[in-house]
Amino acid sequence: MSSDLSPIPPEAEPRLPAPGSRAGRAARWLLARYPVWPIVEHLAEKRVPRHRHSAWYAMGGIVLFFFSVQVVTGILLMVYYDPGQPWQSVQRIVMEIPYGALVRSIHHWAANLMILAIFLHLFSTFFLKAYRPPRELTWVTGLVLAGLAMAFGFSGYLLPWDELSFFATRVGISEIEKAPLVGGFLADLVRGGPDVTVATINRFYPLHVVVLPLLILGLIGAHLTFVQVQGVSEPDSFRALPPEQRKYHKFFGEFLVAEIPVWLALGVLLVALAALAPRALDPEANPAASAPEGIKPEWYFLSQYQALKLFPGSLELLGQALLGLVPLAMVAVPFWDRSIPADARGRLATRLGIAGLAGLVAMTLWGWLS
Amino acid sequence: MNYPVWDVPVLGAGLVVAIIAVFHVLVSHFAIGGGAFLFAAEWWAGRLVRSGRPEDGLRVRGFLHRYATFFLVFTTVFGAMTGVGIWFAIALASPEGTSLLIHQFVFAWATEWVVFLVELSLLYLYYYGWKHNRREDQVFLAGAYFVVSWFSLFIINGILSFMLTPGGWTIENRDLAAAFFNPSYWPSLVLRTVTMGLIGGIGGILVAGRMDPGDPLKARVVRFSAAFVVPAAFLVPLLFAWYWSTLPEGTVQMVQEGVAGLGGGRLTAITRHLVLAGVAGSAVMAGVLVAVFRPRVVTTGAAVALLLMVQMGLMGAEFFREMARKPYVLHGTLYSNSLWRRDVDAGPSVLKAPFLQRARWHPAVEEMSPEHGEWVFRLQCASCHTREGYRDIASRTAPWTPEFAFQWFETMHEPGVMPPFQGSAEDRAALAAWLLNLHGRTLDGRDVLRAAEKAANPAPPPAADPLLPREAQP
Amino acid sequence: MNDGNLHAGIPLPPFDPVGLPAPAALILGLAYLTFTLHLVAVNFTLGSVLLMVWARLRPDPAREDMARFLGTVAPLGFSYLVTFGIPPLLFVQLLYGQFFYSSSVLVGAFWISVIPLLILAYGALYAHRLTRDGRPGIQGPILWAALLGMLAIGFLYVNNLTLAMTPGRWIEMYAAHPSGGTLNLGEPTILPRLLTFLGLSPAMAGVVLWARGRRLQGATGREAVATATQSAGRKAVGIGVGVWVAGVAAWVATLPDGPRTLLLGGGTWTVAAAAAAVLVLAALLPALLASRGPTPAPAVLSGTALVLGLASLILVRDRVRMEYLRDFVALPEIPVHPQWGMLVLFAVTLVLGVAFTVFWLVRVVRRVPDGAAPSSR
């Protein structure tokens, strides 16, 4: 018999299913080949603190749920989408393929709700101060993931090639073009030429279905690994409690199970939104036509778009520089606000966060209404 | 055709009804199913006491009191008020249909009112007598409440199902028995009864969600509640199949065509909502099974999620039922825009007479002016369509040309989801002009008439079927 | 009469093609009966809210006891005022649907807001009751929300139903506001009419307080509360009757010539109107004259006079409506297709249902100790 098989750790024995049972045999078979008991044990002990803000811990799982919906519906759409005939193939999806319109609407709504959930996840993490050491890299990977999600949105929006998606993308890329030095180069690079054409689709499509998925899967893996290794952060108010008053849910088996009905409800919500407000397919894009009135980027780009409008003419560069500082500042936060419990810097960070959130909401609303 | 049309911007009158009704359906079904739950839980508590576990019995009653408080406030404040709300809203959205229902069914409604009065009083006697009543009286009151409240469903179901499947009733014979016990009456009654049990159980899970995970009663209450949900969730699809078999042929066809994509379907919204009901039902089932296997982890959030799934599923089902009647508000008798079927059957002398003279609810307008067109829209289309909101007219007419619009009104009823156009060529021209002006044109009816004459052979549609919603427009 | 075209410029819809399911007189009788019950519940509930607001002004133990009692029964009163409001609304749609549906659409945006207002006011009464031990700070605003909500609902009802009686205004209003975003504000009778319906509120809640005060008199240790409750109840009766009399006088004064002549001309309807006034004024007598004692009899007497007075007012008010509409409709001419079987079913259900409920009401109330407010625990 081969001696390369690992022995079952004695501390594992009492917690495995009975050796005679099928599950018990399978577990031992696996553990003999993959001696990961310490990891299993670590995960089994993972717990989620119970306090009045506990609900926010569910946001990450919600983002992941929407992401899974995107993967599944995205694959289904890929079956019929043809980048050579973008508008015609989408029209076929909504008019001929059984349930095609439904799947497309769900993909649309899940995309929007995923970005919304990311914002909620980001701000709840920020205000619970979960970014502080040792979780700097979780925060940074989270920020990059948020950026990737927005890139998903931007690249996917063009694919139907209808009037609205075409002109909104053109407006969006023209903002990139205004960036100093590299702006023109970057814009030409994503467009595949001086204007948005079908060549742009040939760049956006692989970006949307290959490049971004690879990047995001890798980063999600890193982000989740960080969370699993370090555990869920506890807010200062919870840490301040005497130990006997600190209550926890087990992560697996309790917290995660209680989240299942929430995911189910969000899935039903997607179908409900698709039923009530299906995603429209506008007339095919005509690059020669003049842009219809009131073309705007998607709502999650509106605040930046509106903010840039505050810097007309020669001030534009300043506006772009200031706007570019925002993500840098967000990356820097955990390296600057490090104290647990929060000190003066921590309180200032919270105030800045409130101001930032208010600004984001106000700018988005302003952009939406104007 | 005889009343003013309530022209609600963005929403439309129909959606106002729906918003109130969707919520009412949840609460009213809960008001009955929750009664069954109260009765069963009272009986359970009594059995625990009799079997020598009085402390468990008391704890169940403690839970039951929380349930009853929630039940009382929720069903009387939201259920009863939104019930009145539906009545208010339908009288605004379709005065003629409401009037007909009331004149036909007033004593059925009056009887239902008596039932409701008794039901309400029994609930108060049960709840306010909590401290002093004998336990066996409480069990009786809960049971009586359930039975009496179920009779309110027995009555209202006759009126609701009548609107979709009037059976042997006609406006001439006014046959009350045929109207009440119409073809879809029984399947609808059983379907709703089972749904009620499901919602009563969800209410139990909702109250149990607030209990501490350490409370040993929590798991038992969750499982007791789930026993109301799981069998019901299995039965609903079977009962729906029975209900389905009683629906008008046109409805069945409409739904099936909606599945095969938008191009082949005439009205996909109805199919989408039916899918929603099915998905929600399956999700509720899955969520409750999770609760059954891990009852201690049911949190308020998880329970609210279950309730919201039920709410969305009911929304799908009720939207489906409402759309199934298209283009009628009373199937075969009165169209959604209050046009009487008998006026259509009377032929062109009525149907093609100058519309505004017949409609009367309008100020003096210049013939074929855009105002003329707007009043035709308001009095003939605004019952269902808004300008730029729910079921908007703007996006649906975006690719239209004057001659196409003028021609299209002649045939818009043929696919079977809209009533026939009422009025003369001048009315059609005025409406076409007003619609096209929504897209920045400045036409009046005369321009449209000229364009229509020029196109001696009516041009083929510039678009796919313009009946299609916006997402399908080329 | 069924053809609106007879009235040039007035787009009056024809009567419903189904006709009436019972003779108009019978339906009117049912409408009068149920509307009386509705108004009694309205006045009791609104009066309770008013007296609770009053009791909060200068709280003392007696007033707190009164407010606690009224706060417990007010949500029930509200529940029954809505329930008893349903049949009269059903019957008004049956008899006067041509007018009522039309006017409702004309003020549609406001009319539908009755529903959120109902939920607000009713919800506020429950919130008021359920928060009184935990969060006394928010009791005042909640009570005001209930009060303003109820008054707004009354105003909207009077607005719509006066518009239903004046078809001459319709077409102009509809042309200007097809979304129903307007009110019948040009109608001079609105506020007086509202007072004829709601003026008796303090009195209706007052007699109940008064009766409760007399019952409490027997309970040991609660003499002071009993005395204060009785005196508050009696005063409220006086105030309510005064407001109502002023409201009725203003209403008669603002009526158009036709209906006013009907009421002041010396015929049957003058007698009926006078009877309403006399009955309501008679409610003052026990309040002024009764000696203190433990039986609620004088309060019951006073309350009976108030209810009968309201019932007479309801008759008079409907006769006034017919006078308004005499050019447009005559109820006896509407075709009747009787549904006798359904009528019998309704009557039997009503008798059995009320008997069953009363039986259980007595059974439950008998077990409640004297002087205790009904409670849930």
* Residues B39-63: tens digit of each pLDDT: 999 999 999 999 988 998 999 999 9
Confidence band of B183 (pLDDT split at 50, 70, 90): very high
Residue of B323, B397, B471, B473 for testing the chain A interface, max A β-carbons within 10 Å: B471
Contact partners for chain C, using 3 or more CB pairs closer than 8 A, are B
Hey, what's the torsion of the CAs at B44, B47, B48, B53, to 10 degrees?
Answer: 170
Non-local (6+) Cβ contacts of B114 within 8 A are: C346, C349, C350, C353, C354
Point out the residue among C18, C123, C346 whose CB comes nearest to the CB of B103. Answer: C18
How far A17 CA lies from chain B's nearest CA (Å)? 18
For residue C215 the two structure tokens come to 């019952």
Q: Report d(CA B114, CA B102) in Å as an integer.
A: 16
Residue of A nearest to B289 (CA): A261
Amino acid (one-letter) located at C352:
L
Q: Mind giving me the DSSP string for A203-269?
A: HHHHIIIIIHHHHHHHHHHHHHHHHHHH-----HHHHTS-GGG-EEEEIIIIIHHHHHHHHHHHHHH
pLDDT under 50: residue ranges of chain C = 1-6, 373-377
Non-local (6+) Cβ contacts of C292 within 8 A are: C214, C217, C227, C230
Amino acid (one-letter) located at A102:
L
Do B298 and A258 count as a contact with CB atoms less than 8 A apart?
yes
> Per-residue pLDDT tens for B330-374?
999 999 999 999 999 999 999 999 999 988 899 999 999 999 999
Q: Report d(CA A151, CA A81) in Å as an integer.
A: 20
Are B423 and B412 in contact by the 8 Å Cβ rule? The answer is no
Do C115 and B85 count as a contact with CB atoms less than 8 A apart?
yes
Tell me the sheet residues that pair with C373: none
Residue of B nearest to A161 (CA): B474
For residue A254 the two structure tokens come to 């309790």
Q: Which of A313-327, B25-39, B88-102 shows the lowest per-residue confidence on average (mean pLDDT)?
A: A313-327
Residue of C nearest to B101 (CA): C18
In the prediction, which pLDDT does B459 show?
A: 54
Do A275 and B273 count as a contact with CB atoms less than 8 A apart?
yes
- Identify the DSSP state of A293: T
Please say whether the dihedral angle defined by the alpha carbons of residues B191, B194, B196 and B198, taken in this order, is positive or negative.
negative
Point out the residue among B81, B89, B108 whose CB comes nearest to the CB of C119. Answer: B81
* CB-based burial label for C340 (10 Å; 0-12, 13-18, 19+): exposed
Give me the numbers of helices (H) and strands (E) for chain C, helices first please: 14, 0
Are A323 and A304 in contact by the 8 Å Cβ rule? The answer is yes
For residue A244 the two structure tokens come to 């006997």
> Per-residue pLDDT tens for C105-135?
999 999 999 999 999 999 999 999 988 887 7
In the prediction, which pLDDT does C156 show?
A: 97
Write out the H or E segment, with its range, that includes residue C316: helix C297-324
Are A196 and A173 in contact by the 8 Å Cβ rule? The answer is yes
| List of chain C residues whose C-beta atoms are within 8 Å of the C-beta of residue B171 | 17-18
Contact with chain A for residue B260, Cβ under 8 A: yes
Residue of B15, B106, B135, B376 for testing the chain C interface, max C β-carbons within 10 Å: B106
Point out the residue among B259, B283, B472 whose CB comes nearest to the CB of A95. Answer: B472
Provide the 3-class DSSP secondary structure of residue A342. coil
pLDDT at B309 exceeding the cut of 60:
yes
Q: Mind giving me the DSSP string for C181-242?
A: ----TT-TTHHHHHHHHHTTHHHHHHHHHHHHHHHHTTSTT-HHHHHHHHHHHHHHHHHHHH
In the prediction, which pLDDT does A52 show?
A: 86
Residues 242-271 of B with CB under 8 A from C: none
For residue B6 the two structure tokens come to 């309530």
Residue of A50, A59, A268 for testing the chain B interface, max B β-carbons within 10 Å: A268
Do B264 and A96 count as a contact with CB atoms less than 8 A apart?
yes
Point out the residue among B261, B273, B301 whose CB comes nearest to the CB of A100. Answer: B261
How far A311 CA lies from chain B's nearest CA (Å)? 32
Residues 48-67 of A with CB under 8 A from B: 55, 58
Point out the residue among A261, A265, A275 whose CB comes nearest to the CB of B316. Answer: A275
Do B262 and A95 count as a contact with CB atoms less than 8 A apart?
yes
Do A268 and B259 count as a contact with CB atoms less than 8 A apart?
no
Contact with chain A for residue B279, Cβ under 8 A: yes
> How confident is the model over A205-233, as a mean pLDDT?
95
The C-alpha angle with vertex A191 and arms to A188 and A194, in degrees rounded to 5, equals 55
Q: Which of A313-327, A341-355, C272-286 shows the lowest per-residue confidence on average (mean pLDDT)?
A: A313-327
Q: What is the pTM of this model?
A: 0.90
Contact with chain A for residue B346, Cβ under 8 A: no
Residues 377-406 of B with CB under 8 A from A: 395, 398-399
pLDDT at A53 exceeding the cut of 50:
yes
State how far the alpha carbon of A351 is from the alpha carbons of A114, A328, C63, in Å: 26, 18, 47
Which single residue is written with the structure tokens 């088996």?
A253
Contact with chain B for residue A292, Cβ under 8 A: no
In the prediction, which pLDDT does B267 show?
A: 47
Domains of chain A: 1-45 (no CATH), 53-295 (1.20.810.10), 297-370 (1.10.287)
Contact with chain B for residue C359, Cβ under 8 A: no
Are A80 and A97 in contact by the 8 Å Cβ rule? The answer is yes
Hey, what's the torsion of the CAs at C329, C332, C334, C338, to 10 degrees?
Answer: 150
Q: Name the average pLDDT for chain B.
A: 91
| List of chain C residues whose C-beta atoms are within 8 Å of the C-beta of residue B117 | 83, 353, 357
Contact with chain B for residue A259, Cβ under 8 A: yes
| List of chain B residues whose C-beta atoms are within 8 Å of the C-beta of residue A278 | 268, 272, 469, 471
B·C CB contacts under 8 A:
205
How far B36 CA lies from chain A's nearest CA (Å)? 25
pLDDT at B86 exceeding the cut of 50:
yes
How far C15 CA lies from chain B's nearest CA (Å)? 9
pLDDT at B262 exceeding the cut of 60:
no
How far C356 CA lies from chain B's nearest CA (Å)? 8
A·B CB contacts under 8 A:
131
Q: Report d(CA B222, CA B210) in Å as an integer.
A: 11
In the prediction, which pLDDT does A254 show?
A: 86
| List of chain B residues whose C-beta atoms are within 8 Å of the C-beta of residue A105 | 471
- Strands B334-335, B328-330: parallel, antiparallel or unpaired by DSSP? antiparallel
Residue of B nearest to C179 (CA): B7
Q: Which of A95-99, B131-135, C256-260, C351-355 shows the lowest per-residue confidence on average (mean pLDDT)?
A: A95-99
Confidence band of B462 (pLDDT split at 50, 70, 90): low
Residue of A99, A252, A264 for testing the chain B interface, max B β-carbons within 10 Å: A264
For residue C104 the two structure tokens come to 């409702």
Please say whether the dihedral angle defined by the alpha carbons of residues A241, A247, A250 and A254, taken in this order, is positive or negative.
negative
In the prediction, which pLDDT does C1 show?
A: 38
| List of chain A residues whose C-beta atoms are within 8 Å of the C-beta of residue B291 | 261
> How confident is the model over B20-33, as a mean pLDDT?
95
Residues 105-164 of C with CB under 8 A from B: 105-106, 108-109, 111-112, 114-115, 118-119, 122-123, 126, 130
> Per-residue pLDDT tens for A253-289?
888 998 999 999 999 999 999 998 888 888 889 888 8
Non-local (6+) Cβ contacts of B283 within 8 A are: A264, A265, A267, A268, B309, B313
Point out the residue among A259, A272, A281 whose CB comes nearest to the CB of B312. Answer: A272
Point out the residue among A94, A269, A271 whose CB comes nearest to the CB of B275. Answer: A271
Residues 78-97 of C with CB under 8 A from B: 79-80, 82-83, 86-87, 89-91, 93-94, 97
Q: Name the average pLDDT for chain A.
A: 91
Tell how far CA C240 is from the center of its chain: 14
Non-local (6+) Cβ contacts of C70 within 8 A are: C48, C49, C51, C52, C55, C205, C209
Point out the residue among A262, A282, A284 whose CB comes nearest to the CB of B302. Answer: A262
pLDDT at B467 exceeding the cut of 70:
no
Residue of C33, C83, C366 for testing the chain B interface, max B β-carbons within 10 Å: C83
